[in-house]
Chain A
């Protein structure tokens, strides 16, 4: 309380508004206008000492003051109180004055208003009388004008009619003019406007005349449109406009469709002719294309042997690049796409816009044009696409050489991609699927071509190897030479390169396969549209690439290798034996590792899913092994034949009865040993040593016990006592019992010892058989003894089981003794001396 009062007291000269507000607040309080705090009121009102409260009790207040305050304070309180009372009084006086002034002015205003309203009431009265007069006049005027208005309305109706009539009468002229100006669309729209009317009033002669005129003109117009349509020089847009106009002229839609399509056909055919012209090899470039294939292989031939290194795909690509003097397939397909396919699409689009997607109007709707039109369109598109496809296929078939597959794939991709546009424009058309079929066929054919290329590459490589093998041998011993002179071991130079030839051959084949696979893989690349077709995901990979390309090639390798055994066998060694050996090793390598590697590679690269049965790796390996075995057997046979021919000739051509006492080992035996040595070297280059039975300590020196002197005498006494016969018979059988049967041409194992053993077996068996066909004199027998001893000295080291050589040589000497007229064997010591002398 006193705070409040003090505050007002201490800050009276403060800002006016603040004070005013406080004053207002207090007044409000006084008049009970305070709404904001009844609780406050109640709280305050209970205090009787509150000077501002409603329950203020002056007595209590005074008592309180008197009790609590000092005199000074009371004095201060009293002066403060007085001051407050004074200010309150002045405030109250101001308020009363102000309100009084306002009241006075309000009273004045009310008085003035009273006067004004009275004047206005008079004016309003006047106005209402005037308005009544105006209404009266207006009614009067409208009454007078009624007649004329009706007349004018009628006149204006007549006017419109006349204008229409005038249009009708002017129509022919107007149409003519339009015709002259070639504003066909205007003419048609004019005519359309008039048509109904003319139709309706055609019973009146004048209208009829106009109608006839119009018809004539419109016929002419239609004629002209048709002419224009037929001429075809105009653009597609013009054409479609033409068609639209003609349709509006009630031309039969079917005919129009046909005509439109015929027209489109002529244009498309022009495109096709352009394509075909590219297809047909131009006469000028004819000769080059004839020459090229011959250049290609020749170049390859000359390049490959010199390199001897794996021929990389670029060298294979060369002939292809040179031969394509004409536009390549990508260009061709591009042109086909840009010209034919895009115009086809345009035709389809405009056709559909014209005939199919038209809003159905009136009587046209009943004819079900879209259905008919779609049918025609399908037939048309199919026909055109067939022509196009046949051209494309011809072109694809010309793509014989297998150099750069990416070009073909890209071309096919583009071909396929562009056909999708047709599919979008014309859903349900067979064209895209046919296109896909073409792509599939092309891919299949491609695989075949690659197979052929691989095969020819393989044969070329073989030829190269053959030449490489033949070249260093030219001066040396030709097969089965039969010259008994001991020449230098010519075989040694050639086989030195055998392992290199083998490795380069297999590496180049492998590289070729890889490069072909890389090329073929383009077909399944992700960015190629047709790669996600089911064929390319499944069958292409498994049947196409794996089976018909890779597996077939491996089979081909085996087969062609086997052919070397069969075709050559009869005609006598046209294949160099070294090649047989090399191929056999190649097939063996294939069996052990290469086939698995290639097939794994294929499966990985093409993610082959074996839905259809595929050739198992084991089967292929078996085939390769069989081929290897066959080749090696054949090698043994051929080499054995060469040596046995020498032996046979040497036995057959000599007169063994009258031969002189042996002084030397016959040259042919030295030759046999030399050849065997060179064969041994040759085989060891490609095959491992193999196992052999332990040699006895003196393998090279062994006497042939069979014909020891004493027994010979009893055996061949010139009487045939039973005991003698029995004796020999018995001995012979005992002997045979302890020696194993020898399979002469038995299959050899894949090692050197087995191979050389096979060759020696064949040679010695031949020697044996030849000896049995001859009759020998004493020295003949001794010569054979010397020869056999010489062979014994040198051949044991090559074979797996030296007893084999012993047995056969024993048998030879034994048989010679049987065939001898005067069997007097030579002393072993003499034989050894002769043999060591050489």
Chain B
């Protein structure tokens, strides 16, 4: 018996099911030396576990290993940018009929690292899954429920931010991440019960910026002073679900929310979104910029769809690659010029409808910029590739 059921579909590269009610949790792609990016998946409520999916691009083979996460149901995962064996989670801890969400940093057992991956043909491994090794708790009992833990992008894996209710806490991890101390914190103040729903550590400006979402507002924070820089009130008509920084173009930010919209912001002008998309028919749970070609934007929604959009007009390379122009001979120059004169329009590249239930997470591969995965509530993970035609159009 296999745990994965391969359901080849016409358009998707691969899709397979894991567990039902595979909550959110993230599909986090760590940087891997190999072509194949590992994916971290989530577990259901009853037996929290982390699935590590290894996708061999060349052979279209998926291998999976399972790690137990005994502490509780995982709501958020993110991998350390420095050490691929280290990851952080936010999890529900049920105690005395109370549900508390905590944050922790974990290390994966060394067996996994050594490469003894479980293959789909070898289901027996799942009978004795490994446990995660706890490195430290991000003890936030004083600050409330953690909604997410963010690693410093491109950092050395010593700084994380956890968002807990209305606090943003900056932690320093010391002694190989076994010790966590709060170095500074910021508090969201205002009337009513304010709670951070999600956040993103900006990769620009020396990683000194944090963007958070609470209810319908998006806020920007300066981590040096831990003070608010900007606040986009009513960024969305309803709750803001997710944020992502444009990796190549500073000040640009994408957000999505319950009003079915995806909005693109220039945080220097917060009155109006630069662009607004309304393609989904239900809440948009996740938005991700492609790491290399930021015109490619991926969104996942609870209408069970994943939409790949080509936002050329607001990307960092609105006219496509012009690098090659110098190499071209004069005769071809005109031709090239003509081509670059008609830039691609902003458009929906494709809509992926393989999922049968709400899609809660989408993620680009960090190793292969043309690969992405999406995960839905029913536990189906779908790995797709950017259409070849578009890929060549962008590259050439």
**In the bound complex, do residue A745 and residue B1 qualify as a contact, i.e. CB atoms below 8 Å apart?**
no
Q: Is A42 an interface residue (CB 8 A)?
A: no
* A772-788 near B? 1/0 per residue, CB < 8 Å: 10010100000000000
A733 to B237, CA, bound (A): 33
Q: Collect the chain B residues with CB atoms within 8 Å of residue A743's CB.
A: 281, 303
A247: interface (CB < 8 Å): no
The CA of A815 and the CA of B45, in the complex, are separated in Å by 11
Instruction: Kindly state the separation between the CA atoms of A719 and B377 in the bound complex, as whole angstroms.
Output: 20
Question: A657 touching B44 by the CB < 8 A rule?
Answer: no
Question: Chain B residues near A571 (CB, 8 Å)?
Answer: 234, 237
Chain B residues near A641: list those with CB within 8 A: 237-238
- Which residues of the partner chain B approach A182 to less than 8 Å between Cβ atoms? none
By a CB distance below 8 angstroms, the chain B residues around A819 are 21, 45
Q: A744-B282, A745-B260, A775-B94 are in contact. Are A728 and B45 (CB under 8 A)?
A: no
Residue of A nearest to B237 (CB): A570
Q: How far is the CA of A716 from the CA of B20 in the complex (A)?
A: 11
Q: Check A732–B97 contact: CB distance below 8 A.
A: no
Q: Nearest Cβ in chain A — how far from B51, in angstroms? A: 11
Establish whether residues A722 and B282, one from each chain, have CB atoms under 8 Å apart when the complex forms: no
* Residues of chain B with a CB closer than 8 A to A722's CB: 1, 3, 123, 126
Closest to A720 in B: B47
Q: A569-B237, A772-B377 are in contact. Are A718 and B46 (CB under 8 A)?
A: yes
Bound Cα distance A658, B236 (Å):
33
User: Which one of B21, B49, B281 contacts A815 once the chains associate, using CB atoms below 8 Å?
Assistant: B21
List the A side residues contacting B94 at CB < 8 Å: 657, 775, 821
With an 8 A cutoff between CB atoms, is A726 at the interface? yes
Most buried by B among A570, A641, A775, A777: A570
Taking a contact as CB atoms under 8 Å apart, the answer to whether B259 and A732 are in contact is: no
Residues of B within 8 A of A718 (CB): 46-47
By a CB distance below 8 angstroms, the chain B residues around A720 are 19, 46-47, 49
Q: Contact between A818 and B378 (Cβ–Cβ < 8 Å)?
A: no
Chain B residue at smallest Cβ distance from A765 = B282
Residue of B nearest to A769 (CB): B302
- CB-CB contacts below 8 Å: B10-62 with A: 17, 19-21, 23, 44-47, 49
Is the CB of B358 closer than 8 A to any CB of chain A? yes
In the complex where A722-B126, A744-B281 touch, is A570 in contact with B44 (Cβ < 8 A)? Answer: no
B21 close to A818 (CB less than 8 A)? yes
B357 touches A736 (CB 8 A): yes
Which single residue of chain B is at the shortest CB-CB distance from A645? B238
CB neighbours of A716 from chain B (8 A): 46
Is residue A144 within 8 Å, beta carbon to beta carbon, of the partner chain?
Answer: no
**CB-contacts of B255-270 with A (<8 A):** 259-260
B236 / chain A contacts, CB cutoff of 8 Å: 570
What separation, in Å, do the CA atoms of A777 and B96 have in the docked complex?
A: 12
The answer for the CA separation of A765 and B304 in the assembled complex, in Å, is 12
Nearest Cβ distance between residue A771 and chain B, in whole angstroms? 11
Which of B45, B46, B126, B377 has its CB near the most chain A CB atoms (within 10 A)? B46
- Residues in A707-758 with C-beta less than 8 Å from chain B: 716, 718-720, 722-723, 725-726, 728-729, 732-733, 736, 741, 743-746
Question: How near does chain B come to A378, taking the closest CB pair, in angstroms?
Answer: 54
Nearest Cβ on chain A to B346's Cβ, whole angstroms: 18
Flag if A725 contacts B19 (CB, 8 Å).
Answer: yes
The contact of B45 among A733, A745, A777, A818, by CB within 8 Å, is A818
Q: Assess whether A729 is in contact with B97, with CB atoms less than 8 Å apart.
A: no
A-B contact count (CB 8 A): 93
A812 to chain B, nearest CB (A): 13
Closest to A731 in B: B20
With A569-B259, A746-B281, A769-B358 already in contact, the answer to whether A658 and B97 are too (CB < 8 A) is yes
Could you tell me the distance in whole angstroms from the C-beta of A764 to the nearest C-beta in chain B?
A: 11
Q: Tell me whether B122 is interfacial, beta carbon within 8 Å.
A: no
Q: Is B379 an interface residue (CB 8 A)?
A: yes
Query: Closest Cβ of chain B: how far from A632's Cβ, in Å?
Result: 15
Instruction: Give the distance in Å from the alpha carbon of A553 to the alpha carbon of B147 in the complex.
Output: 52
Closest chain B CB from A422 CB (angstroms): 56
Whether a CB of chain A sits under 8 angstroms from the CB of B341 is no
CB distance from B323 to the nearest CB of A (A): 39
- A657 CB to closest chain B CB, in angstroms? 5
Contact of A733 among B234, B259, B303, B356 (CB under 8 A): B356
In the complex, what distance in Å separates the CA atom of A821 from the CA atom of B92? 12
Query: Is A744 a contact partner of B303 (Cβ separation < 8 A)?
Result: yes
Chain B residues closer than 8 Å to A569, beta-carbon distance: 237, 259
* B 347-391 to A, binary, CB cutoff 8 A, 1 in contact else 0: 000000100111000000000000000000111000000000000
Docked Cα-Cα span, A736 to B283, in Å, equals 20
Interface status of B6 (Cβ within 8 A of chain A) = no
- Residues of chain A lying within 8 A (CB to CB) of residue B191: none
User: Which of A570, A736, A746, A775 is in CB contact (< 8 Å) with B92?
Assistant: A775
Asked if B99 lies at the interface with its beta carbon under 8 angstroms from chain A, I say yes
Instruction: Report the Cα distance A736→B44, complex, angstroms.
Output: 19
Residues from chain A with a CB closer than 8 A to the CB of B237 are 569-572, 641
Residue pair A765, B97 in contact (C-beta under 8 Å): no
Q: How far is the CB of B122 from chain A (nearest CB, A)?
A: 12
Q: Which interface residue of A725, A743, A746 has the most chain B CB atoms within 10 A?
A: A725
Check A745–B20 contact: CB distance below 8 A: no
B98 within 8 Å of A (CB atoms): yes
Q: B5 at interface (Cβ–Cβ under 8 A)? A: yes
Complex Cα spacing A821 to B123, Å: 28
CB-CB under 8 A for A570 and B3, given A744-B282, A765-B302: no
Residues of B within 8 A of A657 (CB): 94, 97-99
The interface residues of chain B lying within 8 Å CB-to-CB of A745 are 260, 281-282, 303
Q: Are A729 and B358 in contact (CB under 8 A)?
A: no
CB B41 to nearest CB in A, in angstroms, measures: 13
B119 to chain A minimum Cβ distance, whole angstroms, is 15
Contact flag A728-B20 (CB < 8 Å), given A570-B234, A722-B123, A818-B44 = yes
Q: Which of B47, B73, B97 contacts A777 (CB 8 A)?
A: B97
Nearest CB in chain B: distance from A807 CB, A: 12
Q: How far is the CA of A769 from the CA of B98 in the complex (A)?
A: 21
Distance, CA A658 to CA B96, complexed state (A)? 10
Measured in the bound complex, the distance between the Cα atoms of B181 and A417 in whole Å is 93
**Cα–Cα, bound, A657→B98 (Å):** 7
- Minimum distance in angstroms from B282 CB to a CB of chain A: 4
Return the chain A residue nearest B75 by Cβ.
A773
- Smallest distance from the beta carbon of B96 to chain A beta carbons, Å? 10
> Would you list 9 pairs from A and B whose C-beta atoms are within 8 A, ordered by A residue?
A570-B237, A571-B234, A722-B123, A725-B3, A733-B17, A744-B303, A818-B21, A819-B21, A819-B45
Give chain A's interface residues, CB within 8 Å of chain B.
569-572, 641, 657-658, 716, 718-720, 722-723, 725-726, 728-729, 732-733, 736, 741, 743-746, 765, 769, 772, 775, 777, 815, 818-819, 821
- Sample of 16 further A-B pairs with CB below 8 A, known A641-B238, A769-B282, A777-B97: A571-B237, A572-B237, A641-B237, A719-B47, A720-B46, A732-B20, A733-B17, A736-B357, A769-B283, A769-B302, A772-B377, A775-B45, A775-B73, A818-B20, A818-B44, A819-B45
